[in-house]
């Protein structure tokens, strides 16, 4: 009988993430993919500023830090001088879609042969659940106490759709971790994303809709239902490019 | 074989970097450093390196953060407003202990200022610049030859101490043309193993490069380690040029292009019977406090000259025991103290 074990690429340590958080799940998925592709020894990743800042505590491959939002620029420097390595960034919605908008768009536009795992949970988890560019209309957060009103706080930013118009971008997909079926789809998308880089196709990114029970003020189960019932309406799942 | 070229300071700086084995350059256009980025665009790929015109100064310094983390000698350059933008990245490089060379071809400020030469980024360069307790080694060339030589040396220093090194130049030095001489056979110096580099966890454990230390006392331990390194650099790497200081009644202190103008005025003053000498700091951090202390003890007067409202003069005051000996002459916003101006100033002090 097959045993359920930790991937080789994952360290055997206790998690600091909140109960019901999607990061641990996504960490595991990408570690499984790295194992499947046999690239653990040639992988260099860049962790963001945000909840996943301590990613190197969990991943058993080389991982470095980047200033907030500059993650794709750091990855660009790494990849250009080490074209034979698998270089990926792991970024939240604040890191990628707010402070790092410039870096992600230009890395995509240059067709940098890097991969991006973009975890969208619609809030700044690390700093206390503030409004993110991806926060849904009508959502209450620490900095949108009157809910997100489009006339004052603007609209949820669909950055993955924006990236699709860039010629340098090879592959874009949006997935979710709300159900078993979608978790399997997410793993497949991460694999496609990494393969695109290994095949030298250019910039590739998976946006993963992920729960933040702590700052959504919900139980883990309710959070998964919210993704299913509300979040996917704003951020439809599927291959966006490639 | 040594060959002579006619070169701008900016191009000499770029060639010095290439000869030092710099294989990664990222930059963004800004005057008066444009010859440097253009030179890199032309020559980097042919020498087997990577050139990127980045989308911003922020991206440029962070690309350097990445390539340096991979163990590659890396550089970025800019002028004052762009260097302000790079400070976040420089602070991370200091915290992550990553080597790298940053060139500041200074222009007038504050704000957008103008594109003329200035020395008003001295505080920013020598007192940390970004957030946190750190220092970067700051080298101040005074001519086109030194733009090459000091940039060449900067890469070995950066690798040796795993620290960012800044070349603090100015718009005048960057754009003037003079003879430049170097050995065609010159080879990169101070190449060392970089076992810390992010090259993949093959035949070793996984590694990380970071400046985040959350554990109890962990960040204090990093800072203690950094301060120990800085203390060592202070004792080992201080450099200055002394010119006719032995019998000097009046000692000028100036760096960079003003150091060079001040040097010409020394000869002029000596002809007029005034015993003047010059201390020209070559490293601005570490600052040559001891040399200045020694020389200023014997002198009757010390005159600090800068293209700023008075920044280095504060370090000279720290160095000299007798504060009353020190006076300052500065110009700002593109104003350059001339040889004549300096001579007049000295004559007034001497009277």
pLDDT for B321 equals 87
Q: Which residues in chain B have Cβ-Cβ distances shorter than 8 Å to A60?
A: 201, 206
Residues B186 and B253 in one domain: no
Residue ending a domain, among B199, B217, B236, is B236
DSSP letter (8 states) at residue B325: G
Average pLDDT over residues A62-87: 98
Please calculate the CA angle A167-A36-A25 and round it to the nearest 5 degrees.
80
Average pLDDT over residues A162-177: 98
Average pLDDT over residues A10-24: 96
Mean of per-residue pLDDT scores for chain A = 97
Residues 6+ apart with CB under 8 A from A151: none
Residues 6+ apart with CB under 8 A from B26: A77, B51, B52, B53, B54, B59, B60, B61, B63, B64, B67, B74, B76
The span from the CA of B211 to the CA of B257, in Å, is: 36
Quick one: pLDDT band at residue A1, thresholds 50, 70, 90? confident
φ/ψ bin of B147: left (φ > 0), alpha (ψ from -120 to 50), beta (otherwise): alpha
3-state DSSP call for residue B24? strand
* CB-CB under 8 Å, B208 with A77: no
* CB-CB under 8 Å, A77 with B74: yes
Residues 6+ apart with CB under 8 A from A88: A30, A43, A45, A46, A75, A114, A115, A116, A117, A193, A194, A197
Residues B229 and B330 in one domain: no
The predicted-structure confidence for B164-219, as pLDDT tens digits, reads as follows: 999 999 999 999 999 999 999 999 999 999 999 999 999 999 999 999 999 999 99
The span from the CA of A44 to the CA of B200, in Å, is: 6
Considering only CB atoms, B24 lies closest to which of A42, A81, A105, namely A81
* CB-CB under 8 Å, B59 with A70: yes
A 10 A CB-CB count for A215 gives 19
3-state DSSP call for residue A89? strand
Interface of A with B in 162-201 (CB under 8 A): none
Residues B7 and B103 in one domain: yes
* CB-CB under 8 Å, B202 with A42: yes
Alpha-helical segments (H) within A96-238: 101-109, 150-153, 159-163, 180-198, 213-216, 220-226, 232-234
Quick one: pLDDT band at residue A186, thresholds 50, 70, 90? very high
ipTM of the complex: 0.97
Residues B170 and B306 in one domain: no
The span from the CA of B113 to the CA of B55, in Å, is: 22
The span from the CA of A170 to the CA of B98, in Å, is: 32
**What are the distances in angstroms from CA B110 to CA A3, A145, B89, B170, B335?**
64, 38, 21, 15, 14
A 10 A CB-CB count for B235 gives 9
Q: Residue B295 sits in a domain of what CATH number?
A: 3.40.50.920
Low-confidence ranges of chain B (pLDDT < 70): none
Residue ending a domain, among B220, B236, B252, is B236
Residues B87 and B185 in one domain: yes
Whether the predicted pLDDT of A3 surpasses 90:
no
Residues B108 and B224 in one domain: yes
Residues A114/A85, Cβ–Cβ less than 8 Å: no
Domain that holds residue B256: 240-350
Token couple for B81: 């407003």
CA A189 to chain centre: 12
* CB-CB under 8 Å, A67 with B89: yes
Q: Residue B110 sits in a domain of what CATH number?
A: 3.40.50.970
* Strand partners for B26: B52
Residues B18 and B159 in one domain: yes
Token couple for A92: 């939240």
Residues B231 and B244 in one domain: no
pLDDT for A109 equals 98
pLDDT for A222 equals 98
* CB-CB under 8 Å, B65 with A70: yes
Q: Which residues in chain B have Cβ-Cβ distances shorter than 8 Å to A64?
A: 66, 69, 96, 198, 208-210
Helices H / strands E in chain B, number of each? 12, 15
Q: Tell me the shortest Cα–Cα distance from B131 to chain A, in angstroms.
A: 13
The span from the CA of B175 to the CA of B182, in Å, is: 19
* For testing contact with chain A, the best of B56, B207, B208 (most A CBs within 10 A): B208
* CB-CB under 8 Å, A70 with B89: yes
Q: How many domains does chain B have?
A: 2
% of chain A exceeding 90 in pLDDT:
98
Residue ending a domain, among B236, B257, B290, is B236
The span from the CA of A214 to the CA of A228, in Å, is: 18
A 10 A CB-CB count for B324 gives 7
Residues B126 and B267 in one domain: no
* CB-CB under 8 Å, A76 with B52: yes
φ/ψ bin of B71: left (φ > 0), alpha (ψ from -120 to 50), beta (otherwise): left
Residues A226/A216, Cβ–Cβ less than 8 Å: yes
Question: In chain A, what are the domains?
Answer: 35-241 (3.40.50.970)
pLDDT for B328 equals 97
Instruction: For chain B, say whether A203 makes contact (Cβ under 8 Å).
Output: no
Whether the predicted pLDDT of A221 surpasses 90:
yes
């Amino acid at each position: 009988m097959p045993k359920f074990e930790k991937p080789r690429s994952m360290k055997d340590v206790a998690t600091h993430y909140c109960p019901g958080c999607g990061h641990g799940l996504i960490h595991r998925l990408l570690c499984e993919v790295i194992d499947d592709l046999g690239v653990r020894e040639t992988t260099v990743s860049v962790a963001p500023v945000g909840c996943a800042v301590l990613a190197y505590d969990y991943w058993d491959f080389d991982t470095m830090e980047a200033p907030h939002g500059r993650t794709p620029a750091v990855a660009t420097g790494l990849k250009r001088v080490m074209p034979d390595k698998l270089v990926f960034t792991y970024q939240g919605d604040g890191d990628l879609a707010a402070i790092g908008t410039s870096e992600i768009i230009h890395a995509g536009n240059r067709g940098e042969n890097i991969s991006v795992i973009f975890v969208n949970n619609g809030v700044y988890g690390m700093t206390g659940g503030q409004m993110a560019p991806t926060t849904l209309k009508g959502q209450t957060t620490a900095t949108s106490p009157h809910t997100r009103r489009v006339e004052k706080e603007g609209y949820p930013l669909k950055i993955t759709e924006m990236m699709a118009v860039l010629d340098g971008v090879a592959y874009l997909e949006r997935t979710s971790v709300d159900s078993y079926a979608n978790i399997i789809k997410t793993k497949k998308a991460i694999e496609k994303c990494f393969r695109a880089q290994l095949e030298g196709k250019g910039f590739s990114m998976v946006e993963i809709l992920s729960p933040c029970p702590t700052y959504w003020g919900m139980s883990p189960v309710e959070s998964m239902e919210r993704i299913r019932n509300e979040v996917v309406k704003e951020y439809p799942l599927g291959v966006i490019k490639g | 074989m040594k060959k002579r070229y006619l070169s701008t300071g900016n191009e000499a700086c770029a060639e010095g970097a290439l000869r030092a084995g710099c294989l990664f350059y990222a930059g963004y256009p800004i005057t008066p450093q444009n010859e440097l980025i253009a030179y890199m665009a032309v020559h980097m790929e042919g020498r087997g390196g990577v050139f990127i015109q980045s989308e911003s100064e922020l991206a440029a310094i962070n690309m350097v953060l990445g390539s340096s983390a991979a163990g590659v000698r890396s550089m970025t350059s800019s002028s004052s407003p762009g260097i302000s933008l790079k400070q976040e990245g420089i602070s991370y490089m200091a915290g992550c202990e990553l080597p790298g060379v940053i060139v500041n071809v200074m222009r007038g400020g504050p704000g957008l200022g103008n594109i003329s030469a200035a020395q008003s980024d001295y505080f920013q360069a020598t007192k940390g610049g970004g957030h946190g307790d750190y220092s970067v080694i700051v080298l101040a060339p005074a001519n086109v030859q030194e733009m090459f030589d000091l940039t060449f040396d900067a890469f070995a220093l950066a690798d040796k101490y795993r620290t960012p090194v800044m070349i603090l130049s100015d718009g005048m030095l960057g754009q003037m043309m003079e003879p430049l001489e170097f050995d065609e056979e010159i080879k990169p110096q101070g190449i060392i193993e970089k076992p810390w580099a992010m090259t993949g966890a093959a035949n070793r454990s996984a590694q990380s490069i970071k400046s985040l230390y959350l554990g109890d006392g962990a960040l204090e331990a990093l800072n203690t380690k950094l301060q120990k390194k800085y203390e060592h650099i202070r004792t080992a790497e201080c450099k200055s040029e002394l010119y006719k200081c032995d019998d000097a009644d009046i000692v000028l202190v100036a760096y960079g292009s003003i150091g060079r103008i001040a040097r010409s005025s020394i000869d002029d003053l000596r002809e007029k019977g005034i015993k003047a000498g010059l201390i020209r700091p070559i490293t601005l951090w570490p600052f040559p406090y001891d040399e200045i202390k020694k020389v200023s003890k014997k002198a009757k007067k010390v005159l600090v000259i800068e293209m700023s409202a008075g920044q280095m003069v504060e370090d000279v005051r720290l160095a000299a025991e007798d504060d009353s000996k020190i006076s300052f002459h500065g110009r700002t916003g593109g104003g350059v103290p001339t040889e004549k101006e300096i001579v007049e100033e000295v004559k007034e002090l001497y009277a």
